[in-house]
Chains A and B, each alone.
Chain A
Amino acid sequence: MDDCTDPVLSNLLDHLDQLQTEAQAINDPPLFFNFDWTLENYAVVQERSDYMKFLWNSIIIAGGSTILGILIAIPAAWSMAFVPSVRTKDILLWMLSTKMLPAVGVLYPISLIFVEFNLLDTRLGLIVVLMLINLPIIVWMLYTYFREIPGEILEAARMDGATLRDEILYVLTPMAVPGIASTLLLNFILAWNEAFWTLNLTAANAAPLTAFIASYSSPEGLFFAKLSAASTMAIAPILILGWFSQKQLVRGLTFGAVK
C-alpha cells in the first residue's frame, strides 16, 4: 500500500489497517473490506505499552499548558484590548512573529535550560514549554474577543466599585465565555498534537500520546497495523472532544470576523 499516492485514500487505508493483521495490512493490492476483521492489534498495543499512562500524560500536559496559558493571557489581553499603549500593536506582531521561528532553532537553548533546571522528561517542563509556544495564539484570540466587548460595560463596573480583579472575574470573563471556550479548545488540540517538543524533551515518564505513536514507527520492521491502532487510540479522545465542541469552536473562531 506504500505505492498509494492519493492522500485521502491512503489515510482511509491507514485506518483500515488497524483492523487487519500485519500480513493483511501490507498486502498488495490492498485489502478493503474483504478481510477477517480483528481487534488483536489493539490488544497487542495495550499489552506492549501502557496506553493509559500516555493518555494521562497527554491530558495533563495539554490541559495544564492550556489552563496556565489562559490564566496568563487573560490579563495580558485585557490590557492590550482596553488600555492599549502606543506599542501594543508592535507587541502583538512581535508575539506572532515567534510562531514563525522554526522550533528546532531554539531546541538547543531550551534543552540546556531543561538540563539546568532538571526539567527533562517531566510534565512540568512540557507544560511550561507548550504554554509558551501557544501563548501568542491564546493572547491573540482573547484580544480579538475582548475587543468585541463594549468598554462602557467595564467602565460601569469600575463606577460600581469593582476592583480590577472583580472587573475581570465577574464582568469580563463571563462575557467572554464563548471566546475563552474556543480558545481553550483550540489550544488543547494544538498542545495535544504537538510532537516536536514532546518527542525531544521526554523519554519515559512524561511521554504523551505523540511519543506513544512514534514508538510504533520502528526502523526494524513494518508494523502498519499496530501503528494504525496506536494512532487511532491517540487521536480518538481529541476527535470525540472536537466532535462535541465543533459548534462552539466554529462560533468562537468566527466571532470577531463576522458581525
Chain B
Amino acid sequence: MGQIELKQVTKSFGDVQVIPPLDLTIHDGEFTVFVGPSGCGKSTLLRLIAGLEDITTGHIEIDGKDATALVPAKRGLAMVFQSYALYPHMSVRKNIAFPLRMAKMDSAEIDKRVNAAASVLNLTDYLDRRPGQLSGGQRQRVAIGRAIVREPAAFLFDEPLSNLDAALRVGMRLEISELHKRLETTMVYVTHDQVEAMTMADKIVVLQAGVIEQVGTPLELYRAPRNTFVAGFIGSPRMNLIEGPEAAKHNAATIGVRPEHIDVVESGGQWQGTVGVAEHLGSDTFFHIHNTGLAETLTVRAIGDVSLQHGDTIHLNPRADEIHRFDAQGLRIAK
C-alpha cells in the first residue's frame, strides 16, 4: 500500500518560499513523474515526501496516516538518488542488505532477500564487489536493489538516470518501468527530461516555480496542455507558439502547433519560410525554419527523408484541428 497525500504543503528556505501551498494525491500503485525545468522545486517536493526536508506548513499523509512529523526512516519509503549514494566501503551485498540490517532482520532472511533482489537485477555475480568497481548502470541497479529489498510503501527516484549515458538511460528506463509493472508499488519519479516523463509515467505532474501547472496522463498533457508553459514543455521537439495576427485569426492571443502537426507541401502552403537547419534522422527530418513572419524559428517534423537544404524555401500547412489556442494569460481556450 502506498497512497501519498500532500495537503496545503508549503516550503520556505529562510524568507524565500519555494513551494507555495500545494495539494496533490498520489494513488497507490501509480507511477507518478514530477517534471519541470531545473529549479522548479520538483526535487524539493520529493525530499519533503521523503522527510529529508521539513515542510514549513501543511500535512503529508502516507496510507492515510499523518507522516508530517515522522523521520525518513519511519515513513516506509525507499529512495534512489541521482548520485546513487552507495556506501563506498561496503560490498554490493552489504549495500543491499543495509536497510534490512537496520531493520534488525535475522541474517537468514537478509540473505534470502538480498539474493532474490540480486537475481532480479542481474547483480548476482557482483555481490562481493565494491561500488567503485562497478559501472554506472550497475551502480544504479545496486541503488535500486537497496530500495526494493525493504518492500517499501513507495519508491522515490530523484533523477536516477541523469548520470548515465544515453544508451544506458534508455535501457534503465525500461528496467524501471518493468520493475513497476512487476511490483505494482507506488513510484514517484523526478526528472527534467520530458521524454522520461512521457514514456514512464501513469501520471505526470508538471511543475514550475513550485507551482503545479498541470496533472494528467502523458497523453492528456500532450493533447490538451492547460497553458502555454505545459504546451512548450511537453513534447519533443517543443510546440511552436505563435503570437500576433496569425493567432488573432483563430481568436486567440497565442496559438500552438506541434512540429509533427505541420505538413510540408510542394507549393502554395498556408505558411512559407526558408530552411535554416535541416536535421536528417532517416526516419524523420526536423526543419528549423526562419523568415516565416510568425515566430523567430518554426520547427517542423517531416516523415522520412525530405530533401530540402539550408536556404531553400519551404511551404507549410498546419493541420487546423491540431491547433491549440491560448488566451492572453496563456491559458488554454477550449475548442
Contact = CB atoms under 8 A, between A and B. Distances in A.
Q: Do A and B bind each other?
A: yes
Interface of A: 150, 152-153, 155-163, 166, 170-171, 174-175, 177
A99 to B, nearest CB: 32
15 contacts: A152-B83, A155-B79, A156-B81, A156-B146, A157-B87, A157-B98, A158-B52, A159-B50, A159-B78, A160-B73, A160-B98, A160-B102, A161-B73, A162-B102, A175-B89
A150 to B, nearest CB: 6
A256 B103 CA distance: 34
Contacts of B98: 157, 160, 162, 170
A162 B78 CA distance: 12
Contacts of A159: 50, 52, 72-73, 77-79
Nearest to B74: A161
Contacts of B99: 160-161
B85 interface: yes
Nearest to B89: A174
A174 B88 CA distance: 9
Contacts of A170: 98
A155 B102 contact: no
Interface string B77-107: 1110111011111000000001100110000
Contacts of A166: 102
Contacts of A174: 89
B176 interface: no
Main secondary structure of the interface of A (DSSP, over half): helix
A133 B292 CA distance: 76
B71 interface: yes
B87 A153 contact: yes
A124 to B, nearest CB: 35
B85 A152 contact: yes
Contact of A150 (B72, B85, B103): B85
The list of the 6 closest CB pairs from A to B, nearest first, reads: A156-B85, A160-B99, A161-B102, A152-B85, A161-B73, A159-B79
Contacts of B78: 159-160
A161 B81 CA distance: 15
B83 A158 contact: no
Residue among A161, A162, A163, A175 with max Cβ neighbours from chain B (10 Å):
A161
A158 B146 contact: no
A157 B78 CA distance: 10
A160 B100 CA distance: 8
Nearest to A149: B88
